[in-house]
Structure 1
């Protein structure tokens, strides 16, 4: 799935990185593929940049697991303090005007931190502190961004929702 280069790229990249870390498939080529998918330019991962991005993804998980808007904002503010540089508006590659949170010349991990911290902040503001979460199925730790119409999504996918519904139904039958 390709995203238009806008502020949603950062929040979707954040979800992808958090879930990539949880899946246990954190290999340089897998990480590079995810970074390319979300339009991170020059996504050449080295051992140190990969480990720094992995540590960052673990910090981002706290955003999705926040139990209140206050905690959510505190977690995002911590990411912004450590990840977002000077914000500026730009156009390049025939794209419409959009925000950058770090100069293009910075190293890979700095650019990833900047785009994800900024994307999470903008999305959270536009979604009024809602619509970021972790799957409600107890055995699933998948983070998600709720882009549904009603904003009441509790599961990462229909499979997890159905699994939980079947479990609840069976418990009621007992």
Structure 2
């Protein structure tokens, strides 16, 4: 399955926000950097907007930890109900036609909620309810989008997979 990066801005932003929240350095500067990296225009973060987006990022985590497609859909539907406004097709900045889930004039936190909820919904539909995950290493809190060819990724990076393999090997030896 091939995924186009342009269609994945919202899902990649959701990953970045969840991982920013779990890694600890939640500052307005770190948040603005993540928003800019994921094509959110005018990402000036006030204290109130930053806290609202942080609370939202905590609501995003269960999407990556869902144990069933039904649970995944229920979680994303709740995000859509609270975060996505009216969906419309648009073109701007010489981009191809694409969906917006909130008008550009809305505040930053509303736009972030809309793009992440909408992006997760579209990706989940295209990936048939698969390919969103949390690292299988117990001590790691990183979430990811699995864009691998076979869609069987269980760890956020090779380092975590190797750490877990060494742990399992040592447990067998003991």
Q: Report the TM range for the smaller structure's normalisation.
A: over 0.9
Instruction: Confirm whether residue 154 of structure 1 aligns to residue 154 of structure 2.
Output: yes
In structure 2, the partner of 1:36 is 36
The CA distance in 1 between the partners of 2:163 and 2:96, in whole Å, is 42
Q: Structure 1 length normalisation: TM-score?
A: 0.96
Runs of 4+ in 1 over 2 A off after TM superposition: 4-7
What do residues 115-138 of structure 1 show as CA deviations (whole Å, max 9, x unaligned)?
000000000000100111100000
Deviations 1:74-127 (A, max 9, x none): 000000000001111111101111111000010000000000000000000001
Distance, in Å, in 2 between the alignment partners of 1:7 and 1:102 is 16
Partner residue in 2 for 1:173: 173
Please tell me whether the aligned partners of residues 21 and 58 of structure 1 are also in contact (alpha carbons under 8 angstroms). Answer: yes
Checking the alignment, whether the CA contact within 8 Å between 1:90 and 1:98 is kept in structure 2 is yes
Gaps of 5+ in 1: none
Question: Are the equivalent residues in 2 in contact too, given 1:36–1:43 (CA < 8 A)?
Answer: yes
Q: d(CA) in 2 for partners of 1:138 and 1:168?
A: 12
Counterpart in 2 of 1:67? 67
Aligned residue number for residue 26 of structure 1? 26
Q: Take 1:40 and 1:119, find their aligned partners in 2: how far apart are those partners?
A: 13
Relative to the length of structure 2, the TM-score reads 0.96
Distance in 1 separating the partners of 2:7 and 2:52: 23
Shift of 1:172: 1.2
**Offset at 1:5?**
7.0
- Is residue 2:124 matched to residue 1:100? no
Residue of structure 1 equivalent to 2:10:
10
CA distance in 1, matches of 2:49, 2:134: 26
Matches within 5 A, 1:75-90: 75-90=75-90
Q: Displacement, 1:169?
A: 1.0
- Residue 7 of structure 1 contacts residue 99 of structure 1 at CA under 8 Å; is this kept in 2? no
User: Runs of 5+ in structure 2 lacking a partner?
Assistant: none
Aligned residue number for residue 140 of structure 2: 140
Cα distance in 2 for residues equivalent to 1:111 and 1:99? 13
> 1:129-154 CA distances to partner (integer Å, 9 max, x unpaired)?
01111000000010110000000000
